[in-house]
Structure 1
Amino acid sequence: MSEPLVLINKIGRPKDQTKRKAILEAAKELFLRKGYEGSSMDAIATEAGVSKLTVYSHYCDKATLFSAAITAKCDEQLPERLFEFSPQASIESVLLKIGGHFHELISSREAVQLQRIVVSMATQEPRLARMFYEAGAQHMLNEMSRLLALAALTGRLRVEDPQKAAERFFCLLKGGEYFRVLIGFCAPMVGEEARQHVKDVVALFMHIYQPVAGAAALPEALIASG
Structure 2
Amino acid sequence: MSSEKGMSAMRVKTEAKRDAILDAASHVFLEAGFEGASMTEIATRIGGSKGTLYGYFSSKEELFVAVMHEAARKQFEPVFAAMNQEVDNLPKALQTFGEKSLEFLCSDRSIQARRAVIAESGRTDIGKRFYEMGPKFGMQKIAEFLGNQMDLGRLRKSDPLLAAMQLMALFECETIMPLMFGVEKTLSKARIRLAVRHALNTFFAAHATEALMIASRRNVES
- TM-score, length-scaled by structure 1: 0.79
Q: In the aligned structure 2, how far is the partner of 1:15 from the partner of 1:65?
A: 20
Structure 2, unmatched stretches of 5+, are 1-6, 213-222
- TM-score, length-scaled by structure 2: 0.81
2:72 maps to amino acid: C
Which residue is equivalent to 2:17? 19
Report deviation, 1:23: 1.0
User: How many residues get paired?
Assistant: 204
Q: In the aligned structure 2, how far is the partner of 1:108 from the partner of 1:210?
A: 30
Q: In the aligned structure 2, how far is the partner of 1:69 from the partner of 1:175?
A: 25
Which residue is equivalent to 2:47? 49
Work out whether 1:151 is the aligned partner of 2:156.
Answer: no
Structure 1 residues 24 and 197: alpha-carbon distance in aligned structure 2, compared to 1, 3 A threshold: same
Q: In the aligned structure 2, how far is the partner of 1:88 from the partner of 1:167?
A: 21
1:124 maps to amino acid: R
Report deviation, 1:27: 1.2
Work out whether 1:109 is the aligned partner of 2:112.
Answer: no
Match of 1:189 among 169, 187, 190: 187
Report deviation, 1:196: 2.0
Report deviation, 1:182: 1.2
Greater helix percent: which structure? Answer: 2
SS for the counterpart of 2:10 is coil
Q: In the aligned structure 2, how far is the partner of 1:37 from the partner of 1:136?
A: 21
Report deviation, 1:159: 3.6
SS for the counterpart of 2:36 is coil
Structure 1 residues 106 and 196: alpha-carbon distance in aligned structure 2, compared to 1, 3 A threshold: same
Q: In the aligned structure 2, how far is the partner of 1:49 from the partner of 1:155?
A: 56
SS for the counterpart of 2:95 is helix
Structure 1, unmatched stretches of 5+, are 1-7, 215-226
Which residue is equivalent to 1:120? 119
Q: In the aligned structure 2, how far is the partner of 1:149 from the partner of 1:119?
A: 30
Q: In the aligned structure 2, how far is the partner of 1:212 from the partner of 1:195?
A: 25
1:71 maps to amino acid: H
Report deviation, 1:103: 0.9
Percent of paired sites with the same residue: 26
Q: In the aligned structure 1, how far is the partner of 2:170 from the partner of 2:79?
A: 22
Q: In the aligned structure 2, how far is the partner of 1:165 from the partner of 1:177?
A: 19
Q: In the aligned structure 2, how far is the partner of 1:104 from the partner of 1:68?
A: 20
Q: In the aligned structure 2, how far is the partner of 1:95 from the partner of 1:49?
A: 44
Structure 1: which 4+ aligned runs deviate by more than 4 Å? Answer: none
Which residue is equivalent to 1:98? 97
Q: In the aligned structure 1, how far is the partner of 2:31 from the partner of 2:172?
A: 25
Report deviation, 1:15: 4.3
Q: In the aligned structure 2, how far is the partner of 1:107 from the partner of 1:81?
A: 16
